[in-house]
């Protein structure tokens, strides 16, 4: 009887020891994965969780950019106390600019946001700037070009000269019109003009509302031309002239943001939450391999909610020919 009792005690001791080593192995794997996640994002993984002023660069042609929109959502969940949207762009598509402006406006509901025109905020880029609480521009920056344009090449004359004719069989006359292979019909041009007019009305109303302009001034600034930063200040398109230091000073004066906080660039890329999701899935697999079935199930089913749950008409500045 005593031998059986000793065997039972020994088995229990071994079982506890095995469980302890399994848990230790999973914890070690978790630490390794945490280090890996930090390594994949570099110092930004830690820095973005510390108090700072986020700087979001908006450059080049603006298009629908899911990664950038996702990044803006991440800024609201980071340690950023305020945001500077640094703009140097001629604009882009109406859909892309609208999405960007909406994302910046949502961010401004959670953090103080100032738009800084460093070189150019023309057309759709200016629409994006309207999402901020304040707009600051360099004295000689380019601001404006409030309008919408659709351009397409028509090579029908060229095709005629080489004896090529493009045949079409369409369900309705306005299907895929204008095509560029045949002269644009008055009906197609009228339909396209209606699209442009609708987007222009949206843009003009956005400017009027966000900048608190009367009808006369709104009509003046929505002429499609560009202005210098100094001229834009007179037209109430921007709030003041200055640079990044001016933006930081405004955040300090208006929202009490510490001026000594570091300004850190945010660029679209893999979000930190993606690394956490990946680590969680790997940990669940390791737990299951170590025989910790319940832990693996919990990791799979009780993961915290981590979701941050040219493509159209253009709003872009076109310099006049020859300039």
Q: Is residue 156 within 8 Å of residue 181, measured between CB atoms?
A: yes
Rounded CA-CA distance 278/294 in Å is: 19
Task: Give the DSSP H/E element, type plus range, for residue 144.
Answer: strand 142-144
Alpha carbon separation from 281 to 57, 76, 167, 268, 274 (Å, rounded): 33, 25, 55, 24, 11
Task: Find out whether 159 and 165 touch, Cβ atoms under 8 Å.
Answer: yes
**Residue 155, class by beta-carbon neighbours within 10 Å (0-12 exposed, 13-18 middle, 19+ buried)?**
middle
The residue annotated as part of the active site, out of 17, 175, 223, 259, is 175
Query: Residue 204: enclosing H or E segment and its boundaries?
Result: helix 186-211
175 is a catalytic site residue: yes
The catalytic residue among 78, 123, 141, 199 is 123
Q: Is 204 an active-site residue? A: no
CA atoms within 13 A on the CB side of 20: 6
Catalytic positions, written as ranges: 123, 175
């Amino acid at each position: 009887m005593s031998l059986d009792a000793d065997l039972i005690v020994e088995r229990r001791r071994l079982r506890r020891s095995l469980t302890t080593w399994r848990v230790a192995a999973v914890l070690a794997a978790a630490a390794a994965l945490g280090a890996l996640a930090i390594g994949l994002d570099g110092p930004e993984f830690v820095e973005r969780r510390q108090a700072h002023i986020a700087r979001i660069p908006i450059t080049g042609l603006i298009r629908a950019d899911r990664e950038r929109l996702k990044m803006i959502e991440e800024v609201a969940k980071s340690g950023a106390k305020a945001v500077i949207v640094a703009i140097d762009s001629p604009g882009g598509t109406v859909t892309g600019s609208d999405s960007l402006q909406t994302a910046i406006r949502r961010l401004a509901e959670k953090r103080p946001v100032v738009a800084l025109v460093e070189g150019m905020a023309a057309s759709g880029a200016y629409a994006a700037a309207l999402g901020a609480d304040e707009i600051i521009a360099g004295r000689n920056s380019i601001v404006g070009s409030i309008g919408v344009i659709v351009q397409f090449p028509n090579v029908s004359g060229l095709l005629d000269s080489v004896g090529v004719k493009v045949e079409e069989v369409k369900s309705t006359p306005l299907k895929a019109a204008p095509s560029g292979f045949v002269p644009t019909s008055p009906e197609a041009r009228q339909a396209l003009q209606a699209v442009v007019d609708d987007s222009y009305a949206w843009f003009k109303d956005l400017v009027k509302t966000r900048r608190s302009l009367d009808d006369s001034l709104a009509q003046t600034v929505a002429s499609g031309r560009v202005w210098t930063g100094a001229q834009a200040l007179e037209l109430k398109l921007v709030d003041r002239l200055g640079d990044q230091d001016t933006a930081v000073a405004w955040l300090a004066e208006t929202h009490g943001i510490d001026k000594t906080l570091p300004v850190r660039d945010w660029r679209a890329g893999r979000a930190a939450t993606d690394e956490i999701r990946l680590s969680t899935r790997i940990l669940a697999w390791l737990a299951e391999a170590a025989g910790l079935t319940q832990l693996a199930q919990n990791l799979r089913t009780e993961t915290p909610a981590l979701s941050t749950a040219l493509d159209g008409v253009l709003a872009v500045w076109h310099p006049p020919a020859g300039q």
